[in-house]
Structure formats: structure tokens, C-alpha cells
Amino acid sequence: MVPLKRRRKDGGAAPIAGVQERAPVNRFPGVEIFLLERRMGSSRRAFLTQLARRKGFRVQDTLGDSVTHLVSESNSGDEVWEWLDRQTGGQMPGSLSLLDISWFTDSMETGRPVEILDRHRLQDALEVLAENAEFSESEGRGLAFRKAGSVLRSLPFAVSRMEDLRGVPCLGEHSRKIIQEILEDGVSGEVEGVLRSERYRAMKALTGVFGVGVKTADRWAREGLRTPGDLLTSGHRLSREQEAGVRYYEDLNCPVTRAEADAIGEIVKEAVHSILPGARVTLTGGFRRGKEAGHDVDLLITHPEEGKEEGLLGKLTSWLDSQGVLLYQRVSEGSGGRGRESGPMDHFHRSFSILKLGEQPGAQPGASSADQTQEAAAPRGQGGAQGRGWRAVRVDLVICPYSQYAYALLGWTGSQQFERDLRRFASQERDMSLNSHGLYQREQNRYLPAASEEEIFTHLGLEFIPPPQRNA
């Protein structure tokens, strides 16, 4: 029995009575399965594990780096993503495929791993086309590709044939054509062409500069500029914002981790509380939705006594400046109004800023003295975070009156797509107009007050949707 025991320990199955145990060979190199226990249950998981191992599949008990196929049952795509995010701290191994149980059962029936399509590849392809459309100011087309991508992301199964997509909403003709190409040939000629094109590359690099929009990037790209470095040598006049964008280019294009976002939150809280005790600072945006990384830190600031928040932003940014923390800011004056007529933009007193985040325990992985040479070698004005002990972080500081706090919180938590969908629902289904300031009931010609997000959902006749489920 000794060999059997050992076998079981390194991944072999326990014997079933009457069934001859086979050696735990991996008949399919490059395929290592992990079965997600969530919703599947432990006994079914044990049964399926045993089944697969008997057929020569390698099944791992824990989610290690070698796992290539994660199989789940009765979970939505988003649920699996959230679970994975928590397990891996956002560091998802690039080679991992997320698969529905149907891939597993098909493979068991066939006796070999049936072909799958890495859903990432489809999403990435659509994302590239969305960006490319936006680079030519075709917002509508861009949005269509983004919707298609987000629909694929939430499918609870892997796509292997076009028939899998029958009846799936939000997939336009063009998106379907791209998906089909990738399903059949492994790549899409159109997407590859975009990725190779000089224009796309230049637009990608130039719009990656904080303060540079599509129009400006387009003008520069036509003049032959290709990289942020070209901006420094070309003698172009840059706005203060763009100058900061070029100076902190690498930092601002390096994702902000949750630990960094929390650290920024603490710095701002401390400042706010020293200026105005009782004020509230809330981390919103993607981090409130549970994301592990983001492009900026969104902080919403209010005070339970309405009116006390007035004048706070100026004092706060002066305080941050005096501490050497404020690297850049542009203040947008609040109009005070609700801005019902002016579309999705809100009217809060707000600072688009870049803050300096010093070395925080756990917030700066990978910084080592060896990187310092790299920084010294980098072109002037393009230093990265590595090795210098601090990094630049984009931060939005938003001040809101307490009576609008619930609406501001809902509006700033996102995602952007979720907000769009919710606003369209309010308008089309409820004849109401929703934005970050309030909810306006058109027929009654009045604003509906709300003290919490829950109350807003109630006004809309919807069940409360918690932030982690607003990633759509």
C-alpha cells in the first residue's frame, strides 16, 4: 500500500473498489486542471477529480502556477474572476483558461482535452478595436466593441464555436466576424493589422500621457510624433497638465495597487481630519467595487453638516502641498447646481491631482537598488517608481454636499458601463433622470432625496446591487 499512498499525495486518485488503479501519468502535457469547489461541493469535486485522473488528466488540488485550466460549475464568469482576484491578489497567471464544467465533461467523454478558446484573446481583440475606433473619434463603434467584450467576459462558459454565441446579446456583426476569425484561424487579421499599425501605436503611446486627449494625440501623430519622449525633444508647447503627464509617464501608466490606494486614502484622511474634524473620506471607483488594481484613486469627501464642506478642497490641497505630497493639480470649480441639463459630467468641486506616495510597507513590491541604474539610464523626465522610494499616483479628490452624498457615491463607484446602463434604465423605464447629484422625477418635477445607495435603488424600483456586482 505504500506506493499507493505516495501516489495519492502527489496527485494520484484514491482507488475505487473493483477498478484497477492506473499510474498517474499525465497523458496531456500542458494541461493541468484545477476544479473550483465553490458551488460544486467537495464530494462532487472529489468524484470528478478521480474521474479525470483515471483518464490520464493531471488535476491539481491547489491553484498553483502550473495550473492551466480552471474549471467551475454554476458560477458566473464574474464570480470566478472575483474569486481568482482574491486568490491571486490580481496577479492572474496569463496562461490560465477559465472553463465551464461543460468543457470538462466534453473532455471526459472525448477522452482528451477538447479544444478551447482563451476568452482573453477574444476580449483583448475587441478591446484593441474599441480603442482604435475611439482613436478615430468613432465613439459609437468603440462602445459597441466594448459592450461585446464585456458580454464575453460575463459568459459562464468558454466559447469554442460560433453556435455557442447564438442568442447572446450585444454582439454586433463586426464583433461576431472578429470572433469567428479568431475561432477559426486563431488570430484576426484585422486586429493584427491594427496592432502593427504605426498610427495605433503612436495614438496609444500619446493618449497614454495624462492630459492628452484623442484630438491632441491625433494632431501630434500626424506631425510624426510617436512617443512621449518625442514631445520633449520636439519643442512643442505643453500644458502644465501634459508636462506632468510626460514627467510621470511611467508611474501613471503603472497600475495602482489596492495597498497603494489605501495608503493614499490614509494620507488624505489624515489631512482632511486635521482640517475639518468629522468629515468623511470614502474610497470609490474601481477599488470600492473590489478591484485589486486601478488607474487612479477616487476619493469622495463630505461632511454630515451640510455647508461645512465648503472651502475644504483649497485647504486640503494646500495642506498636501505643504507636506510635499502634491505633485500636480487642476481644480475644477463646482457650480453648485445639479447639472441636470448638462449630461453625465458632474459639477462637484474637485481636484484632478497627482500625489506623491512614499514607500509604504507592502505597497512597493520589486523596488531594489539594482533598478536605480535603470532609472538613471531612463530619459530625463520619464523616471519610473522603481528604486527611488516613491511613486506618482493619479488621485481624484471630489467634495460633495452631504445631501448629494449617496448619489455621488453611486456615481463615482462605477463602473462607467454600469452607470450608463443604470442611467438609461432610469430614463427609459422610470422617466427619471439620474446623475451624481440626484434623481429627478420628470413627471412630478422634483428631486428625490436619498440618504443611502439602497434608497436610490428603491426609488428606481430595483433590488440593491452591491459594488462588487457593478463591474459590468
Query: Which residues of the shown chain bind Mn ion in the complex (CB under 5 A)?
Result: 285, 294, 296, 298
Residue pair 95/61 in contact (Cβ under 8 Å)? The answer is: no
Residue 169: CA count within 13 A, CB half-sphere: 1
Task: Find all residues with CB under 8 Å of 192, minimum gap 6, and list them.
Answer: none
DSSP 22-49: PP---SSTT-EEEE--TTT-HHHHHHHH
Cβ 294 to ligand UTP shortest distance, Å: 3
Least distance to ligand UTP, CB of residue 394, Å: 8
411 binds, among ligand UTP, Mn ion, none (CB under 5 to 8 A by kind): ligand UTP
Which are the contacts of 152, defined by CB distance < 8 A and separation ≥ 6?
119, 122, 123, 126, 159, 179
Q: Which is the catalytic residue, given 85, 218, 296, 346?
A: 296
Minimum separation from the CB atom of position 242 to ligand UTP (A): 18
For residue 455, the minimal CB distance to Mn ion (Å) is 24
415: partner contacted, choices ligand UTP, Mn ion, none (Cβ within 5-8 A by kind): ligand UTP
Q: Tell me if 85 contacts ligand UTP by CB under 6 A.
A: no
Catalytic status, residue 78: no
Residue 414's binding partner out of ligand UTP, Mn ion, none, with CB under 5 to 8 Å set by partner kind: ligand UTP
What is the closest distance, in whole angstroms, from the C-beta atom of residue 410 to Mn ion in the complex? 15
d(C-alpha 33, C-alpha 48), whole Å = 11
Whose Cβ is closer to Mn ion: residue 272's or residue 299's? 299
**Residues 345-374 vs ligand UTP: string with x where CB under 6 A?**
-x----------------------------
Q: Which of the ranges 260-268, 367-375, 410-418, 422-430 carries the binding residues for ligand UTP, by CB under 6 A?
A: 410-418
Residue 396 appears among annotated catalytic residues? yes
By CB under 6 A, name the one of 79, 218, 251, 419 that touches ligand UTP.
419
- Residue 156's identity, in one-letter code, is P
Count of residues binding ligand UTP (CB under 6 A)? 14
Active-site entry in 346, 396, 421, 431: 396
Question: Is position 387 an interface residue for ligand UTP (rule: CB under 6 A)?
Answer: no
Helix (H/G/I), strand (E/B), else coil: 387: coil
Tell me which residues in 228-287 interact with ligand UTP (CB under 6 A).
Answer: 285-286
Contact 335, 319 (CB under 8 A): no
Sole binder of ligand UTP in the list 136, 416, 427, 452 (CB under 6 A): 416
Amino acid identity, position 52: A
Q: Which residue has the cell 434623481?
A: 439
Grid coordinates representing 340?
Answer: 441636470
Specify the length of the chain in residues. 472
- Residue 438 interacting with ligand UTP (CB under 6 A): no
Judged by beta carbon, residue 149 or residue 294, the one nearer ligand UTP is: 294
Q: Which of 85, 251, 298, 346 is catalytic?
A: 298
Q: What is the DSSP string of 261-289?
A: HHHHHHHHHHHHHHHSTT-EEEE-HHHHT
The closest residue (CB) to Mn ion is 285
Phi, psi (rounded to 5 degrees) for 430: -120, 0
Nearer to ligand UTP, 256 or 276 (CB): 256
Select from 49-57, 140-148, 315-323, 415-423 the region that touches ligand UTP (CB under 6 A): 415-423
Q: Please tell me the distance from the alpha carbon of residue 252 to that of residue 210, in angstroms, as a whole number.
A: 8
Q: Which residue has the cell 476544479?
A: 35
Q: Contact region for ligand UTP (CB under 6 A) — 33-41, 245-253, 408-416, 461-469?
A: 408-416
The H-or-E segment that residue 396 falls in is: strand 390-399
- Which neighbouring-strand residues pair with 398? 300, 350
Strand order in the sheet with 349-358: 280-283, 297-302, 390-399, 349-358, 326-332
Classify residue 167 as exposed, middle or buried by CB count within 10 Å of its CB (0-12, 13-18, 19+): exposed
Residues 6 or more apart whose CB falls under 8 angstroms from that of 111 comprise 55
Given 414, 422, 439, 467, the residue binding ligand UTP (CB under 6 A): 414
Q: Which amino acid is at 374?
A: Q
Please identify, using beta-carbon distances, which residue of 285 and 334 lies nearer to ligand UTP: 285
Q: Does 436 bind ligand UTP (CB under 6 A)?
A: yes
Q: Specify the residue, 32 or 453, whose C-beta has the smaller distance to Mn ion.
A: 453
| Partner touching 149 among Mn ion, ligand UTP, none, CB below 5 to 8 Å by kind | none
Q: Supply the minimum distance, in Å, between the C-beta of residue 153 and ligand UTP.
A: 15
Shortest separation between residue 296's beta carbon and ligand UTP, angstroms: 5
Catalytic residue status for 298: yes
Three-state SS for 198?
Answer: helix
- Kindly identify the residues of this chain, within the stretch 280-319, that bind ligand UTP according to CB under 6 A: 285-286, 294-296, 298
Measured distance CA(123)–CA(449) in Å, rounded: 39
Give me the residues that bind ligand UTP (CB under 6 A), please: 285-286, 294-296, 298, 346, 411-412, 414-416, 419, 436
Catalytic residues: 296, 298, 396
